[in-house]
């Protein structure tokens, strides 16, 4: 279990909301949420990062994340964004390894590991996503799949950088499907990930890494998921686009 009592609730907007809609959503959140025990991270589309960085700068407990970045600092990579650019804009976190990047754009574990290294060098915190498909789980290979992802991502990883890492376990079969891993299934995988980190970095170091659950998290299931001993927060997709839903999820974390 993550040593800190602080929970993390991250909202991944994906490719949603027009600028005015995004600003309205953020206004609803900052005007109706006062957080004491929760870190709230918002990941809007790239075009909104600059404006929202200004908006969130003076709001305690709120942080800004990008949804992806390249593994190089600069170069002829049309359409890509370097982590150093994100850092210069006031972005503090970046989501890497999301299942949609893996499945839709063919990102490999090795490619994602390169992105992690450059993001850390740029001074960003990384939210690293891992998780199995339904086929993996049906075949009883979910632990092997996540083991492979985690070990590749953090191969030769410097332990003094662990304070820049957040892990998000997202069973692919539960993302955007309305299905959710049971609290028992989610907690079991979180404990597995913690054991993997402990084997590589030592038990004490592993305890410092927050592990979030993602996969159709809603206000209705958030309390049960967040109450699990090895679940340190949530990476929220669709529900992060609805102010009332996201506010209730954050308040569930605040009550723990």
Domain residue ranges in the chain = 18-130+145-246
Distances (CA, A) of 138 to 101, 135, 167, 188: 23, 5, 23, 16
Fold that domain 18-130+145-246 belongs to in CATH: TIM Barrel (3.20.20)
The per-residue pLDDT for 4 is: 58
φ, ψ dihedrals at 89, nearest 5°: -90, 0
The per-residue pLDDT for 77 is: 97
DSSP 227: T
Half-sphere exposure for 172 (CA within 13 Å, toward CB): 20
Q: Is 170 a catalytic residue?
A: yes
Q: Which of 100, 170, 190, 245 is catalytic?
A: 170
Residue with tokens 């592990």: 211
Distance in angstroms (rounded) separating the CA atoms of residues 127 and 108? 16
Name 204's Cβ contacts closer than 8 Å, sequence gap at least 6. none
The per-residue pLDDT for 1 is: 45
How confident is the prediction along the chain (256 residues), in pLDDT tens digits per residue?
455 568 999 999 999 999 999 999 999 999 999 999 999 999 999 999 999 999 998 899 999 999 999 999 999 999 999 999 999 999 999 999 999 999 999 999 999 999 999 999 999 999 999 999 999 999 999 999 999 999 999 988 888 899 999 999 999 988 877 777 899 999 999 999 999 999 999 999 999 999 999 999 999 999 999 999 999 999 999 999 999 999 999 999 999 9
Radius of gyration for the chain, computed over Cα atoms and rounded to the nearest angstrom: 17
Q: Is 100 a catalytic residue?
A: no
Q: Which of 98, 107, 132, 192 is catalytic?
A: 98
Q: Where are the alpha helices (DSSP H) in 154-221?
A: 183-201, 203-206
The per-residue pLDDT for 121 is: 95
Q: Helix 19-32 and helix 243-254: axis angle, to 10°?
A: 30
Asked if residues 126 and 96 have their Cβ atoms less than 8 Å apart, the reply is yes
The per-residue pLDDT for 228 is: 96
The per-residue pLDDT for 236 is: 98
63 beta partners:
41
Task: Give the CA angle between residues 124, 2, 169 to the nearest 5°.
Answer: 65
Asked if residues 83 and 119 have their Cβ atoms less than 8 Å apart, the reply is yes
SS3 of residue 32 by DSSP: helix
Nearest CA among 21, 7, 85, 14 for reference residue 52? 21
């Amino acid at each position: 279990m993550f040593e800190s009592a602080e929970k993390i609730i991250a909202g991944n907007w994906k490719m949603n909301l027009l600028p005015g809609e995004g600003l309205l959503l953020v206004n609803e959140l900052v005007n109706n949420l006062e957080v004491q025990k929760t870190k709230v991270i918002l990941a809007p589309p790239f075009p909104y990062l600059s404006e929202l960085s200004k908006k969130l700068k003076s709001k305690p407990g709120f942080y800004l994340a990008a949804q992806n970045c390249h593994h190089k600092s600069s170069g002829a990579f049309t359409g890509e964004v370097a982590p150093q650019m994100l850092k210069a804009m006031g972005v503090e976190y970046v989501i890497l390894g999301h299942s949609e990047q893996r499945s839709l754009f063919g990102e490999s574990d090795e490619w994602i590991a390169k992105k992690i290294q450059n993001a850390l060098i740029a001074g960003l915190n990384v939210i690293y996503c891992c998780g199995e498909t339904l086929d993996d789980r049906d075949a009883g290979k979910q632990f092997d799949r996540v083991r492979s992802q985690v070990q590749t991502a953090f191969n030769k990883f410097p332990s003094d950088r662990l304070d820049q890492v957040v892990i998000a376990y997202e069973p692919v079969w539960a993302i955007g499907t309305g299905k959710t891993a049971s609290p028992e299934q989610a907690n079991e995988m979180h404990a597995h990930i913690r054991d993997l980190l402990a084997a590589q970095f030592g038990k004490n170091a592993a305890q410092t890494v927050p592990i979030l659950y993602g996969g159709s998290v809603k206000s209705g299931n958030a309390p049960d998921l967040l109450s699990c001993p090895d679940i340190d927060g949530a990476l929220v997709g669709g529900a992060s686009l609805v102010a009332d839903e996201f506010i209730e999820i954050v308040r569930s974390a605040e009550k723990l």
